[in-house]
Structure 1
Amino acid sequence: MKRPDPFLSALIGAVLLATFLPCPHAYQGALNHLTSLLIMFMFFFQGAKLQRSALWESLRDWKVQGCALLATFVVFPLIGVALYGLCHVAGMLPYLTPKLWTGLLFVCCLPSTVQSSIALTSIARGNVPAAICAATVSNIVGIFATPLLVALLLPAGAQAGGSAGGLQTIIDIARELLLPFVAGQAVQPWLGPIVRKHKILLKFTDQGSIIVMVYAAFSTAVLEGLWHRVPWQDFVLVALFCTVLLAIMLTLTDLAGRAMGLPRGDIIALQFCGSKKSLSTGIPMASVIFPHGAGVVELPLLIYHQIQLYVGATLARHYARKLARKEGAQAKPQP
């Protein structure tokens, strides 16, 4: 039996800790300052780690990269808005709170995840270099695209309070995410080798920072009565919405790859990079964009993240077994 992911277990632990021992109001300000500092450090080290030469080299495969960006920042948000509209026509909007609808649409605006997209592509025996480039570029573009999409879609689509104004959101993202990332890139030639040498330490600090952010966001939400305002039926509906979103995107990216005549390895990379959403980028962005109510907004992202990991792992193993059977059949001597 496969052991549970320690990071996901720690995230659940942070939610439970915030539920039973939320940070008191007197210390909320200090915790918020700590969260902002951790976000800045995260993106500084992300910038220091990224090698520009490797990135430019991988960008030559424009079909995969362009299609992955379109899937992430154009098709995904449009599908989310379309499903929201269908729920509006069917009279289903009242079944979820406005902040949960905001969280679902926020998921649609996020960049692709890096680690799991690459890992799943590797397990499925797809084009790993293409997946590395697509996921990395997606996260860089997401620094600019996500706040713009939030400003465009959420006021008209979700009509839920809690987000900052469009211009202020972009300013906050630039200050806490973009500037540290650029600063990290500036010192990358000197700091980059050190950061890449200590990948385990960087992974530990990244995941530790996200756990603190989740605790901070849910502490505020719990003190505002989160679990009294979000019944268990809402979790089921959010999980159903996330599953439908993921299924649609997996199908569309597969069909798009086939229509363009891409090799199977490229289709696999496109499918995983175009359907995944980044928890490590989404949590810091939610803390910046939704300073009041990030805990509720983060719930759909936590649920989507869990679903995409299980579905992605199952699909990747299926692809690997299918390719192994094909290679075995080809290796058999002809009578």
Structure 2
Amino acid sequence: MPGFLKKIDPLLLGIIAATIIAFIVPARGSFADIFGVATKLAIALLFFLYGARLSTQEALKGLTNWRLHATILAFTFLIYPIIGLALRPTTAFISTEMYQGILFMTLVPSTVQSSVALTGIARGNVPGAVVAASMSSLIGVLLTPLLVMLLMGAGDGIQVDASVFVDISLQLLLPFVLGQLAHNFVPKVREVAKSKATKIVDRGSIWMVVYSAFSQGVVSGVWSNIAAWEIVFLVVFAVLLVVVMLWVTKVVPEKLGFPRPDVVAIQMCGTQKSLATGLPMASVIFGGATLGVLIIPLMIYHLVQLILCSAYVSRIASA
């Protein structure tokens, strides 16, 4: 391996590689279906291992940490939408559709899988992140369409798909609970969860999510609807927004007296926006035929947040 690649964290290198592969050889047809199932299984395994690694006392503490959850929700559904509204003057040099895409990106919930995985890598409050990120997704099922109605004027025909509650329960919360049972009754599983297995699975699941998401974008042809300079603009915008929010989500919790593990959880959950939740929501709210440019800001932000947050947690984990 070339010397400069050895200096790049494997998590970050894998994200970049998964993106490039998705553009060159995207998942299509039956392979995409099989890979999608494999990705869900990898995420379920990750949450099982997190549950098996943590004591029940730690998990309950994460559940009852209301200040942590309120702070993350405030960043996700208050601060980000305010930023989105403040960017309205950018329509002087970008299209209204692109601005609408940026605004929609600020309204979607936080990620669950990647924010929890990144929190774990940085030795943050994992149980708190699990509860907070899951809560963000569940609340977002109702709150994101409501914010879209209020701020984007797209209220007609909005429907809320309650299946997301079932998906989150089965794919994330159930494996976590089963992991908790294994922690208490199956010592061998607990030891495996505390080994390098969790690190391998959390990184691998992030790579799989990135490849799957960008494959969908390539196959659907959304990238053909945007000029190169617009992609550059969105990348620069996403980098600036993530960097600023990483700073804000660190300074504010520290001022509020949160301990370091909670600060890390707030940073990882409070700066993330969910592509996995945002895309289905966009297709329901706006209709699949009208998405196009609207979802590109979310896709670019999703990639940038993973790259920058991965580099960030790798640095603080080794500090």
- The alignment's TM-score, normalised by the length of structure 1, stands at 0.68
- CA–CA distance in structure 1, aligned partners of residues 59 and 11 of structure 2: 28
Residue 95 (structure 2) pairs with residue 96 (structure 1): no
Residue 266 (structure 2) pairs with residue 274 (structure 1): yes
Q: Please identify the structure whose Cα radius of gyration is greater.
A: 1
- CA–CA distance in structure 1, aligned partners of residues 44 and 280 of structure 2: 11
- CA–CA distance in structure 2, aligned partners of residues 213 and 252 of structure 1: 24
Q: Is the 8 A contact 2:76 2:271 kept in 1?
A: no
Q: Which residue of 2 aligns with 1:132?
A: 124
- CA–CA distance in structure 2, aligned partners of residues 46 and 269 of structure 1: 15
Q: Which residue of 1 aligns with 2:31?
A: 27
Q: Percent identity?
A: 17
What is the CA deviation profile of residues 268-301 of structure 1, one whole-angstrom value per residue up to 9, with x for unaligned ones?
Answer: 55544322238999576668878989x9544312
- The alignment's TM-score, normalised by the length of structure 2, stands at 0.71
1:18 partner amino acid: A
Q: Secondary structure of 2:26's partner? A: coil
Pairwise CA distance, 1:16: 1.0
Q: Is the 8 A contact 1:114 1:278 kept in 2?
A: no
Q: Secondary structure of 1:187's partner? A: helix
Pairwise CA distance, 1:219: 1.6
RMSD over aligned CA atoms reads: 4.2
Query: Structure 1 stretch 186-195 or stretch 110-119: which is displaced more?
Result: 110-119
1:165 to 157, 160, 175: 160
Q: Is the 8 A contact 2:238 2:301 kept in 1?
A: no
Q: Which residue of 2 aligns with 1:52?
A: 56
- CA–CA distance in structure 2, aligned partners of residues 109 and 72 of structure 1: 9
2:251 partner amino acid: D
2:12 to 8, 11, 24: 8
Q: Which residue of 2 aligns with 1:153?
A: 144
2:37 partner amino acid: H
- CA–CA distance in structure 1, aligned partners of residues 252 and 270 of structure 2: 23
Give 1:1-335 correspondences, 5 Å limit: 3-56=7-60, 65-88=65-88, 91=91, 94=96, 96=98, 101-106=103-108, 109-110=110-111, 113-114=115-116, 117=119, 132-133=124-125, 135-154=126-145, 155-156=148-149, 157=151, 165-191=160-186, 193-197=188-192, 199-232=195-228, 233-241=230-238, 243-244=240-241, 246-248=243-245, 250-251=247-248, 254-255=251-252, 257-258=254-255, 260=256, 262=257, 266=258, 271-277=263-269, 296=296, 297-309=298-310
What is the CA deviation profile of residues 160-181 of structure 1, one whole-angstrom value per residue up to 9, with x for unaligned ones?
Answer: 9xx9834222222222222222
Pairwise CA distance, 1:72: 1.1
Query: Structure 1 stretch 71-80 or stretch 32-41: which is displaced more?
Result: 32-41
- CA–CA distance in structure 2, aligned partners of residues 59 and 100 of structure 1: 32
- CA–CA distance in structure 2, aligned partners of residues 242 and 39 of structure 1: 26
Change (3 A) 1:211 1:100: farther
Q: Which residue of 2 aligns with 1:330?
A: none
Report the number of matched residues. Answer: 294
Q: Which residue of 2 aligns with 1:325?
A: none
- CA–CA distance in structure 2, aligned partners of residues 136 and 214 of structure 1: 24
Q: Is the 8 A contact 1:45 1:184 kept in 2?
A: yes
Pairwise CA distance, 1:71: 2.3
Q: Secondary structure of 1:165's partner? A: coil
Pairwise CA distance, 1:304: 1.8
1:226 partner amino acid: V
What is the CA deviation profile of residues 10-43 of structure 1, one whole-angstrom value per residue up to 9, with x for unaligned ones?
Answer: 1111111111111232433323332333332232
